[in-house]
Amino acid sequence: MGATSAKFVFDELSKKVGYTFNRPELLLQALRHSSYVNEQGDINLEDNERLEFLGDAVLDLVISHLLMERFQDAEEGTLSKYRALVVDELGLYRVALTLKLGKYLLLGKGEEQSSGREKSSILADAVEALLGAVYLDAGFNKTMEIITRLFAPLLDRVETQEMVHDFKSLLQEYTQENYKTLPSYRLVKESGPAHNKIFTVVLTINGKTLGQAEGKSKKEAEQKVAREAFWCLKENQNLQGASKQLPQKHPAKSFLHFV
């Protein structure tokens, strides 16, 4: 990257982030993917992975603090779930899109050719690296200010319960992003008197049954099974080290049944 193009990147991205770096080399490192570094043959050139590690920790702390302020009566388990919704790969990817971060990345030829600028994992990592760079350059208070602004749309969705209640939309986004497919809901049973019916819905993904749930309406049953399937997939992904495979079995929840 030449001096002129580097200055353009620094100025344009700094404006979007809302912060001008005192040490622009930190911003440059945050944009430097390992594939780019590997092709340069310079042992002194550092990729963004260490900054990503730092940014991940800072982001967790800030989002935890903001959630505790917003949900003062929420229990630890609930706060953990809320945080997971905000800082997972999909949330970070959304922030990266608002910054148009992909256009600024330094990628190797292979990643460039395989649409690396659009990959959610690369973009999510770059957001964390960027936050790590801000933290090193400006300290915690400024980083918290920037995180609060950049993640406000996601935090607001949690605050209004939209993110928590609309699990069908959340599951759809998640399966599209991670498995390139959509969940399917099938009404398998209606029982009870006309004034008090119970609806049973089965959820499948790629032909695999992930669970079923009952509700007083078809919509309620779909939301229930989507909620539990979402948390099941998230937990399974964490256990498998972010594997993109659908679970064949889930500990204590194989072929889930939720009522």
pLDDT tops 50 at residue 214: yes
Q: Given the DSSP bridges, would you call strands 208-215 and 256-258 parallel, antiparallel or unpaired?
A: parallel
pTM for the complete prediction? 0.66
Is residue 11 annotated as part of the catalytic site, yes or no? no
Domain co-membership, 139 together with 181: no
Which residues are CB-neighbours of 220 under 8 A, at least 6 positions away? Answer: 199
Domain co-membership, 127 together with 12: yes
The pLDDT value given to residue 238:
53
Residue where one domain finishes, among candidates 142, 162, 182: 162
Domain co-membership, 129 together with 177: no
pLDDT in tens, 1-28: 544 466 777 788 999 999 999 999 999 9
pLDDT tops 60 at residue 141: yes
Domain co-membership, 75 together with 198: no
The pLDDT value given to residue 245:
60
Domain co-membership, 53 together with 151: yes
The pLDDT value given to residue 246:
64
Q: By CB neighbour count within 10 A (0-12 exposed, 13-18 middle, 19+ buried), where does 180 fall?
A: exposed
* Average model confidence (pLDDT) across the chain: 84
Domain co-membership, 114 together with 196: no
Q: What would the mean pLDDT of 158-183 be, rounded to a whole number?
A: 77
pLDDT tops 80 at residue 252: no
Residue where one domain finishes, among candidates 162, 189, 206: 162
Structural domain including 205 reads 166-258
| Dihedral of alpha carbons 154, 155, 157, 162, sign | positive
Which range among 51-55, 179-183, 222-226 has the greatest average pLDDT?
51-55
The pLDDT value given to residue 230:
83
Domain co-membership, 121 together with 180: no
Domain co-membership, 151 together with 182: no
Structure confidence at residue 163 as a pLDDT band (50, 70, 90): low
**∠33-242-109 over CA atoms, to 5°?**
25
Q: What would the mean pLDDT of 154-180 be, rounded to a whole number?
A: 76
The pLDDT value given to residue 196:
82
Domain co-membership, 151 together with 30: yes
Residue where one domain finishes, among candidates 162, 196, 224: 162
Q: What would the mean pLDDT of 214-233 be, rounded to a whole number?
A: 86
Given 47, 89, 125, 128, the catalytic residue: 128
Closest CA to 205 of 237, 174, 243, 235: 174
**Pairwise CA distance, residues 181 & 156, whole Å:** 27
Domain co-membership, 90 together with 146: yes
The pLDDT value given to residue 140:
97
Measured N-to-C along each axis, helices 140-150 and 120-138 cross at an angle, to the nearest 10 degrees, of 140
Q: What would the mean pLDDT of 191-195 be, rounded to a whole number?
A: 85
Domain co-membership, 94 together with 147: yes
Annotate 146-210 with DSSP letters as a single string: HHHHHTHHHHHHHHTTHHHH-HHHHHHHHHHHHHSS--EEEEEEEES-GGG-EEEEEEEETTEEE
Which range among 49-63, 72-86, 215-229, 241-255 has the greatest average pLDDT?
49-63
pLDDT: is 242 or 236 the higher one? Answer: 236
Domain count, the chain: 2
Q: Where are the beta strands (DSSP E) in the chain?
A: 184-191, 198-205, 208-215, 256-258
pLDDT tops 50 at residue 255: no
The pLDDT value given to residue 48:
96
Q: What is the CATH number of the domain that holds 197?
A: 3.30.160.20
Given 52, 56, 125, 222, the catalytic residue: 56
First to last CA, the chain: 57
The pLDDT value given to residue 178:
84
Instruction: Catalogue the long-range contacts made by 11-16 (C-beta closer than 8 Å, 24 or more residues apart).
Output: 12/104, 13/99, 13/101, 13/104, 16/98, 16/99, 16/100
Domain co-membership, 241 together with 127: no
Q: What is the CATH number of the domain that holds 32?
A: 1.10.1520.10
Is residue 42 annotated as part of the catalytic site, yes or no? no
